[in-house]
Amino acid sequence: MEKNENIHISLTLGLKNYQNIDKASALKLFEGDAQSLLSAAAAIRDFAKGKVITYSRKVFLPVSNLCSDRCSYCGYRKEPEDGGGYIKEKEALELIRAGASLGCTEALIMAGERPEKRYSEARSFLNKNGFSSTAEYVMHLAEIALEHGLLPHINIGLLEENEMVKLKKVSASMGLMLESTSLKLFAKGGPHHFSPSKNPYLRLKMMEVAGKLRIPFTTGLLLGIGEEPEDIIDSLFAIRELNEKYGHIQEVIIQPFRPEKGTPMENVKGPSLEIVEKTIALARLVLGPEMNIQAPPNLVPCWSVIKAGGNDLGGISPLTIDYVNSSYPWPDIKNLEKECESHGYILKKRLPVYREFINKQGFIEERVADVIRRLSL
């Protein structure tokens, strides 16, 4: 019996020897029968996570849609003349208060890659408001969110270690999508040709710093932008290697590219549902029983996430749109609850930091822990 068949049988039984999978075995599984792969992943998810699917009730704070990168697929980034700029503190406060009143526990704080590096308008806004960088402004908004009982999850691109140290004090978790380890995406005409911050080495370096600083961290893959199956597998193993070393990756997002009008890739088809499902399943097998595997339900059908071995639907907002994928509205949470129940699962709300990290030594600052305790009562 071949090695990958042994691995497949073990995983179907829900055993924890997923570490035996190597890249060659993973590729065979990915290119093999989809139903067998999905069944194995779902079995190991049920073994480790039970019949519970989670989500985070959030308010989305789009701090700035200015960005020094120019990814071909991005519908979030705008130029100053097209409405690009920063959210004002008053506007952010209104969203925070409204989100809290609707039962949100997460403030997703997002910004483009270092706008002040490219735009004089960004530097002017920051200077006028007394901040030296976008990261410093984000820290201020995160403090406001904490004061109003929301837990910040911060995802604003590449950060220096000193910035991460400061932001950890006011955030429950942080994030940075790896997207892909493929360097061919940087070729002329490729989606990352004008996006130096998407260099996988730089992203993995920041993720490693996050591990050293004991920051609960979210990362993930973006599918359908020109990667090959080997790139998907390489990306998953890169994440796994870092997590085995530091134990700080709290969730991995499998996000399909979906075209947005007005972008260079508006006519490019996203990945097939089968590829998305297979990637979710492979992520479960490669990253193991305890990893939280997420796919957003406005981009991936809820049942696809469940049957492929995922256990989380990510942040869903009752107030704000998905600014990154603005053409794809959030599904109604009540409808998601009913769909989960129809398949024998329970949909439960979680905090933006997973329970297993809350009491993990050194991962949560005391100021943030105070808000966690209040929200957990």
Q: Is 145 inside a domain boundary?
A: no
User: Quick check: is 136 in a domain?
Assistant: no
Query: Which residues have a Cβ under 8 Å from the Cβ of 354 and sit 6 or more positions away?
Result: 216, 250, 251, 292
Is residue 228 pLDDT above 70, yes or no?
yes
Quick one: pLDDT at residue 20?
Answer: 73
The average pLDDT across 221-229 equals 98
CATH number for the domain spanning 286: value is: 3.20.20.70
Torsion over CA: 362, 363, 368, 374 (sign): negative
* pLDDT, tens digit (0-9, with 9 covering 90-100), for 90-123: 999 999 999 999 999 999 999 999 999 999 999 9
113 part of a folded domain: no
What are the DSSP E strand ranges found in 139-203? Answer: 151-155, 173-175
Q: Looking at the domain assignment, is residue 275 inside a domain?
A: yes
Name the pairing type of β-strands 52-64 and 151-155.
Answer: unpaired
| Residue 284 included in any domain | yes
Indicate the average pLDDT of the chain: 94
Total number of domains constituting the chain: 1
The single-letter code of the amino acid at 287 is L
Average pLDDT over residues 274-295: 97
Residue 63 included in any domain: no
| Residue 288 falls inside a structural domain | yes
Examine the pLDDT at 10 and tell me if it is beyond 60. no
Work out the average pLDDT over 154-171.
98
The C-alpha atoms of residue 24 and residue 285 are separated, in whole angstroms, by 13
C-alpha to C-alpha distance for 107 and 53, rounded to whole angstroms: 21
Are the C-beta atoms of 175 and 154 separated by less than 8 Å? yes
Domain that holds residue 208: 3-56+158-376
Surface-to-core class of residue 117, CB atoms within 10 Å of its CB (0-12 exposed, 13-18 middle, 19+ buried): middle
CB 251 within 8 A of CB 204: no
Segment 143-152 shows an average pLDDT of: 98
Asked if residue 243 is part of any domain, the answer here is: yes
Q: Are 48 and 15 in contact (CB under 8 A)?
A: no
